[in-house]
Amino acid sequence: MSDWKLEDFAVPEVADKDRFHDFALPLPLMHAIADLGYEYCTPIQSKTLPFALSDYDVTGQAQTGTGKTAAFLIGVLTRFWEHPLKEVPPLGCPRALILAPTRELALQIEGDAKGLTKYMDERTVCVVGGMDFQKQLDKLDKKPVDLLVATPGRLIDFLDRNKISLKHVEVLVIDEADRMLDMGFIPDVRRIVFQTPHKRTRQTFFFSATFNDDVMRLAESWTIDAEHIVIEPESVATDTVDQKFWMIGRDEKDSSLLNLLRNTDTERAIIFANRRDQTHRVVKYLQNNSIDCEALAGDVPQRKRLSTLNRFKEGSLKFLVATDVAGRGIHVDGVTHVINYELPEDPEDYVHRIGRTGRAGSTGTSISFVSEDDAFNLPPIEQYLGMKVDCTIPELPA
């Protein structure tokens, strides 16, 4: 670390692009950014960092996968570097609290934080439900924590047992607020926010994929004079995702899915269903027909979910069957196909689903089954996409 210089990380200036070099970030943080291969800021990073680094509150409208996690983490870590603590804080008293709606997202944020703090002393701890409480407590009791990443329910468990105190929180991050609202977490989040310092004495980042009236009211109640940043969702372009819509009778979905997985070049696919029971039924059907697949749904034990996701990332598992909530934590390059066994009720979920393929400059294919049960979900998707879609009858080997 001692002999690393900024000159070792040469990134040429490019018109209309911001480099991380342009923000006078701490040298250890830049070293980690170089190791991660980050060169130019994403739009959310370009717009957020000037305000985050100047201690402004920020509300941001951005989808998952736009780089917002790095945006707020870089702001938090720079603040810590520029304002080091004069004495060691008590155990269980984080300087920053990051709230996320799902375990997968929280674990992903923890991983990103550990990558960015590679050459810094800041320590990250993640507390989420569905994982061993005592092991998480042991991490908190081991030494002070700087960044605490948490899901609301598990954090309240720790607060109720007086194992965590939020009175020293300097930065509060609320991620995917709309999803927290959908999942019924807002009463818990209110309790948590109430235990942090007043909004005038902390910095707050508030991110949401959508900003309806309910979300906007939450943002206004938890921030002060926030800079509101909107990053429009990238259009679902056919040059990265080839979207296909297949007209299939409800009784033909299983056999069509089986033929698709057996007889086409689906190297790695995520199959989306709308409900947990449907994911398990589809998995059982496919496994009974010698297709190696696993379910990723909210009722699957966390240890099993993590091992399944790791197998999928490593390539030893080719097919996942997932619900939307579970699917939000999947950020895996190399997914060749997304298959909508059922059309989602929310058109934004459709865009999120097919965004699991065609990532990192590669192309992908999405195939949506349209039956008499869910055809009424198609017009809202067309409206959201801004285009008419063509439904075709699939031609698959028998």
pLDDT the model gives residue 253: 94
Tokens of 392: 């075709």
Mean pLDDT across 264-288 = 92
Minimum mean pLDDT range among 176-185, 314-323, 354-363: 354-363
Q: What percent of the chain has pLDDT over 70?
A: 95
Which pTM was predicted?
A: 0.69
333 pLDDT band, cuts 50/70/90, is confident
Q: Which of 82, 89, 131, 88 is nearest to 110 (CA)?
A: 131
Taking the C-alpha atoms of residue 176 and residue 382, their distance in angstroms, rounded to an integer, is: 24
Alpha helices by DSSP H, the chain = 27-36, 43-52, 68-82, 103-116, 133-142, 152-160, 177-182, 186-194, 213-222, 253-263, 276-288, 302-314, 324-327, 347-354, 378-385
Higher pLDDT, 346 or 341: 341
pLDDT the model gives residue 383: 82
pLDDT digits (tens, 9 = 90+) for 72-117: 999 999 999 999 999 999 999 999 999 999 888 899 899 999 999 9
pLDDT digits (tens, 9 = 90+) for 140-152: 999 999 999 999 9
Taking the C-alpha atoms of residue 12 and residue 33, their distance in angstroms, rounded to an integer, is: 15
pLDDT the model gives residue 3: 86
Class of residue 174 by CB neighbours under 10 A (exposed 0-12, middle 13-18, buried 19+): buried
pLDDT the model gives residue 210: 80
Q: Is the pLDDT of residue 317 over 60?
A: yes
Taking the C-alpha atoms of residue 125 and residue 113, their distance in angstroms, rounded to an integer, is: 10
Instruction: Evaluate the CA torsion angle 245, 336, 44, 129 in order and state its sign.
Output: positive
DSSP output for 185-215: -HHHHHHHHHTSPPGGGSEEEEEES---HHH
How does the average pLDDT of the chain come out, rounded? 89
Higher pLDDT, 110 or 182: 110
pLDDT the model gives residue 2: 62
| DSSP tally for the chain: helices H, then strands E | 15, 14
Q: What's the fold here for domain 6-230?
A: Rossmann fold (3.40.50)
Taking the C-alpha atoms of residue 323 and residue 127, their distance in angstroms, rounded to an integer, is: 23
Taking the C-alpha atoms of residue 339 and residue 271, their distance in angstroms, rounded to an integer, is: 5
Instruction: Evaluate the CA torsion angle 112, 116, 117, 119 in order and state its sign.
Output: positive
Q: Where in the chain is the domain with CATH 3.40.50.300?
A: 6-230, 241-392
pLDDT digits (tens, 9 = 90+) for 48-66: 999 999 999 999 988 767 7
Domain 241-392 has CATH 3.40.50.300: yes
**Neighbouring residues of 262: CB distance < 8 A, sequence distance ≥ 6:** 291
179 pLDDT band, cuts 50/70/90, is confident
- Answer for the pair 364, 335: CB distance below 8 angstroms, yes or no: yes
237 pLDDT band, cuts 50/70/90, is very low
pLDDT the model gives residue 73: 97
Higher pLDDT, 67 or 192: 192
Taking the C-alpha atoms of residue 72 and residue 50, their distance in angstroms, rounded to an integer, is: 11
pLDDT the model gives residue 66: 78
Minimum mean pLDDT range among 244-248, 316-320, 349-353: 349-353
Beta strand 269-272 with 319-322 is parallel
